[in-house]
Amino acid sequence: MNKIHRNYKRLSIWILLFTQILLIMSYFYLKVDNVALKSEKISFVNSPQEEQIKLTYHTSDSRIFLKSINSRTKFIDFNSSLCYTNGTDLVSMKRSKQFNWQCNCLPGWHGKDCGQPEVIWRALLTYRKPLKITGPRTFERRIIYVFSVDKFSETIAEIRINELGSIVDLFILYEDKRSDFLQHKLNNNFAKQYHDKILYLKTNNIDNALHLVKNLRDDDIILNSNGNEIPNKFAINFLKYYNKWPEPIRFRLRWSVYGFFWVHPSKTIITGGACSVSYLRGVFNNRIKLLNDNKTLSNPLYKGIILGDLNHYGGWYCEYCYDIAQILELLATKFHNAINLEKMHQKKIDNAFLEDLIENGLYIDGKTELLRTHRYRDSYFAPYYVMENNWNYDFLLINLYSKIDYYEG
């Protein structure tokens, strides 16, 4: 009896052990199978052929509506005085124990309401005809800035989008219809912070771009400039709040070369343009590119105004502000007319030649002497965004090929 009991007990143990082995094998089989199913599912969802990029910027298929903003948000009321907040010495006015019957302007600001930055005030003073600027308006004018972007102008485009992003309502960025450089950049987060303000187009669609803005107003502003230009943000901002300024507007830009540390001996260049939508329609027949055509704008028929002079600039023109490899690539193109290509090959323009030009302050022709600028003494040395983010743009602020500039910077 005891023997039978022992055999039964032994058999029970073996059955229990066998059952446990089966359970363990079943668990691992089911787990591996489940993982395989999951991996197949994930692979299917993330298939590169099926996945599409979700655009966060506007395209030719978009319907765009610009915001209407009350101008009073940028002004403050002191008794009977309406003062532009950014141009007014609010501290001294608030400390004053007397009634403030007029606005107390900060240095570099002018006008009854302190709304005219230096560059605007000087332009209005030198204008040959009497002007009666009125404002502030009830609602801000919206600014639409149109310019092309390619691999040579990528850095300057990044700077001006960030420099003007808070005051421009829509950037219309375009590129040649045969290129996809800009589109690729936008898809990889170029100027991501401002994608809701960016409309991407090809060159052939520019003249129809404004049709995509469904609430466009006649008094909105169109601004157009070349690839290496950065307009003065304060000059542009003034146009938003005031009426009866002369049209069209052109800009006298500081002419920097290789970086902001050298200036061309001519010092400035007049280029770019801005006007109201009604002016664009009535005078330029909606052709936006005419706003940046010097032959057109220099015609006496277009009696506009130039913003900027030799000491207070309407912005910056940064010529050859690329790395050495890009300058060489640009000079090798058929479309570049700055120097004679035949002579270029005779002179053997290479890395060493360009480094010598940048170090010693010679223009691309190898003859014209450039003027040195002073980073900490010159109030118009570079755009504000560049100065505030100098660690990203040291190659534009410091002459890296000059030991003196490098160590001083």
Residue 18 lies inside a defined structural domain of this protein:
no
Strands 259-276, 249-257: pairing is antiparallel
Report residue 246 CA to chain centroid gap: 26
Q: How many other β-carbons are positioned within 10 Å of the β-carbon of residue 141?
A: 20
- The residue whose two tokens read 């003062």 is 83
List beta partners, residue 253: 269
Residues 221 and 293 in one domain: yes
Q: How many domains does the chain have?
A: 3
- What single-letter amino acid sits at 16? L
Q: How far apart are CA 233 and CA 73, in angstroms?
A: 18
Q: How far apart are CA 312 and CA 235, in angstroms?
A: 11
Residue 27 lies inside a defined structural domain of this protein:
no
Structure tokens at 305: 């105004």
CATH number of the domain residue 224 falls in: 3.90.550.10
Residues 11-70: pLDDT tens digits?
Answer: 666 666 667 666 666 655 554 444 444 444 443 444 444 346 688 999 999 999 999 999
Helical pair 118-126 and 233-241, crossing angle rounded to 10 deg: 70
Return the ∠ at Cα 82 (arms to 79 and 83), rounded to 5°: 115
Residues 365 and 388 in one domain: yes
Continuous segment of H or E residues that includes residue 372: strand 371-372
Q: How far apart are CA 201 and CA 227, in angstroms?
A: 15
Residues 216 and 335 in one domain: no
- Closest alpha carbon to 393 in 188, 224, 256: 256
Q: How far apart are CA 206 and CA 380, in angstroms?
A: 32
HSE-CB of 286 using CA atoms within 13 angstroms: 8
Residues 247 and 295 in one domain: yes
* Ranges assigned E (strand) in 304-353: 305-307, 315-319
Cβ-contact 79, 101 below 8 angstroms? yes
Residues 200 and 298 in one domain: yes
Residue 59 lies inside a defined structural domain of this protein:
no
Q: Which residue blocks in 86-201 are alpha helix, DSSP H?
A: 90-95, 118-126, 154-164, 181-187
- What single-letter amino acid sits at 74? K
Residues 173 and 288 in one domain: yes
Q: How far apart are CA 214 and CA 170, in angstroms?
A: 13
Residues 301 and 367 in one domain: no
Residue 155 lies inside a defined structural domain of this protein:
yes
21, burial (CB in 10 Å: exposed 0-12, middle 13-18, buried 19+): exposed
Residues 401 and 280 in one domain: no
Q: Of the residues 126, 151, 173, which one is the last residue of a structural domain?
A: 126
Model pLDDT, residue 48: 46
Q: How many other β-carbons are positioned within 10 Å of the β-carbon of residue 247?
A: 18
Q: How far apart are CA 139 and CA 103, in angstroms?
A: 21
Strands 109-110, 198-202: pairing is unpaired
Residue 335 lies inside a defined structural domain of this protein:
yes
Structure tokens at 328: 């060489």
Q: Which domain holds residue 305?
A: 143-256+271-310
Residues 161 and 303 in one domain: yes
Report residue 103 CA to chain centroid gap: 33
Residues 164 and 252 in one domain: yes
Residue 104 lies inside a defined structural domain of this protein:
yes
Structure tokens at 56: 């966060």
Q: How big is the chain, counted in residues?
A: 409
Residues 403 and 294 in one domain: no
Residues 155 and 193 in one domain: yes
Residue 234 lies inside a defined structural domain of this protein:
yes
Residue 168 lies inside a defined structural domain of this protein:
yes
Model pLDDT, residue 24: 65
Model pLDDT, residue 51: 42
Model pLDDT, residue 302: 82
* Ordered per-residue pLDDT tens for the chain, 409 residues: 444 555 555 666 666 666 766 666 665 555 444 444 444 444 344 444 434 668 899 999 999 999 999 999 999 988 777 899 999 998 888 877 666 678 999 999 999 999 999 999 999 999 988 899 998 999 999 999 999 999 999 999 999 999 999 999 999 999 998 999 999 999 999 999 999 999 999 987 787 899 999 999 999 999 999 889 999 999 999 999 999 999 999 999 999 999 999 999 999 999 989 999 999 999 999 999 888 887 777 787 888 999 999 889 999 999 999 999 999 888 887 555 555 555 555 667 789 989 999 999 999 888 899 999 999 889 999 999 999 999 999 999 999 998 766 545 5
Phi, psi dihedral angles at 148 (to 5 degrees): -90, 155
C-alpha separations of 25 from 13, 15, 36, 104, 313 in Å: 18, 15, 17, 86, 80
